[in-house]
Amino acid sequence: MGTITTAGFHFLFLIPTIALHAHASSQEAHLTEFLLSRKSRSSSGNTISHPTFHGGSVPVITNSLRTDEYPSSDHRTLKAADKISALPGQPDGVDFGQYAGYITVDGHNGRALFYYFVEAPSDKAAKPLLLWLNGGPGCSSLGFGAMRELGPFRVNRDNQTLSRNKHAWNNEANIIFLESPAGVGFSYSNTSSDYDRMGDPLTAEDTYTFLVNWLERFPEYKARALYIAGESYVGHYVPQLAATILAHNNNTGVMLNLKGILVGNPLLDVAKNKRRRYEYLWNHGVISDEVWADISSHCSFNGSSYGGMCHEAISKSYYTHRDLDMYNIYSPTCITSDNGSCYSSSQLPGYDPCGEVTTFAYLNRPAVQRALHARETKWRGCNRIFIGFKDSPDTMVPTLKWLIDHGLPIWLFSGDFDSICPFTGTRYTVRDLNLSVIEPWRPWTTGHEVGGYVQQYMGGFTFATVRGAGHTVPALQPERALILLRSFLKGILPPYKKA
């Protein structure tokens, strides 16, 4: 497997790439702002710059991959340099390897992606490799996925120390948290015009290049089973990356051992997501019958822009839920005082809605950035330059169909308290796939407690809900999220025990 640079490597296809609330975390508010920005686009604004296919044929790669071999000793040296001896404030007894650093994805432009890698505490050689991506678009997998959701540590309220997450996903897999695309978190490009053209195609291209080059640095993982997971706008990233990998596996000498994808509360179909969001709010008593009737009457959700009456109807709905976290309508919110301190509006065991504040403070400590081998900079959870993300088509259905046709297992899961990417919208997208049900809708459990509901379809496709979770399932229901991960990796449905 050769090291890849993307200079001279550009897809002439896009594998069907399709494609504010004050108290919401920046990742979540970022997605809201991105979705709202699409209202002003004309329908022609959704035309992507790469040819797409709509299922049935394999994407054609007309450019050959350019590989640059480095001596193996250089890879060993780079891996050793990425080894983290200890993160500032980490607890005693850390029993797993940690690495962090940069992988160059375009040497000509000076584009490099930052990663944080945690190995499994036990039996790491027998456990798979999992790549975790956060969405936005433009939000950090280090700051959200690793530090607030499924990573091994949580930042304590002192902004200085870390505590162990007993439901960390590296109990089940060796996990790469990737800050993608360039411009997110510590990832960067030395060519500013790269940010202007950043979108779904280049993100898939760069992430694929990252994986190939990362495996050169960590060759012991080359043959390991690879899974890709994430949440939110990753409903675009992950299917496109998976299709990119399968296309290259079929057309080049580079082989990645991709075994499946797992996406939580995914943005898959913009029109269905918009309509079902307001339907969800009405069904949960957040907006009135009158507001829902106005929205239903005046909004078609078929185009990218709203008419005046539709916009007016939707505006009324925002006045009715300004005191809720729309990404978890039953969770406490983070309240910031005039003096800059923050506190939770109510108590929910195991969940801190102000965790973003402590994470921001921790990752901006110079000692932490040095320990992570990051360029010292002002780290941000999300980058606003990606609100105008390029080539973000409206539906991922063609991509999902192509992946299913090519035998890739796909699992989707949804926290049932999320109104921004609600499970209702995902269900309608799943219906568009026209798959036969092989295991009908049923509850799954954690002991004798219902953890959610699940249904399995032909072609290795599974959809599950998680009770009591919002947009970021591992943050709100970490035990249930870990059960889903185990089931996904084993290829079996989560357990069901009758009381």
DSSP symbols for 93-136:
T--S-EEEEEEEEETTTTEEEEEEEE--SS-GGGSPEEEEE--T
Max CA distance (Å), the chain: 68
Instruction: Answer yes or no: 418 catalytic.
Output: yes
Rounded Cα distance between 467 and 472, Å, is 12
Catalytic annotation, pick one of 232, 317, 392, 487 = 232
Which is nearest to 183 in space by CA: 192, 172, 170? 192
Cβ neighbours of residue 208 closer than 8 Å, sequence gap 6 or more: 241, 244, 245, 248
Preceding omega of 181 cis (within 30 degrees of 0): yes
Question: Omega of the bond prior to 474 within 30 degrees of 0, cis?
Answer: no
Q: Give yes or no for a contact between 7 and 109, defined as CB atoms under 8 angstroms apart.
A: yes
Chain mean position to CA 77: 31
- Does 284 participate in catalysis according to the annotation? no
* Active-site residue identified among 194, 391, 394, 418: 418
Residue 320 φ/ψ, nearest 5 degrees:
-85, -15
Contacts of 236 (CB under 8 A, 6+ apart): 17, 18, 19, 135, 137, 200, 267, 392, 396
Distance CA 356, CA 342 (A): 11
Q: Interhelix angle for 270-283 vs 26-37, to 10°?
A: 120
Q: Are 357 and 334 in contact (CB under 8 A)?
A: yes
Indicate which residue of 269, 352, 471, 487 is catalytic.
471
47: CB partners within 8 A, 6+ apart? none
Q: Running DSSP on this structure, what letter comes out for residue 350? A: T
Task: Report the interhelical angle of 423-432 vs 270-283 (nearest 10°).
Answer: 140
222, 190 contact by CB (below 8 A): no
Residue 409 CB: number of other CB atoms within 10 A? 18
Residues 26 and 139: beta-carbon distance below 8 Å: yes
11 Cβ contact list (under 8 Å, min separation 6): 50, 59, 61, 63, 201, 204, 205, 244
Question: Looking at residue 336, what DSSP letter applies?
Answer: E
Is residue 323 among the annotated active site residues?
A: no
What is the DSSP pairing of strand 226-231 with strand 153-155?
unpaired
Distance CA 295, CA 309 (A): 9
Contact 213, 116 (CB under 8 A): no
Known catalytic residues? Answer: 232, 418, 471
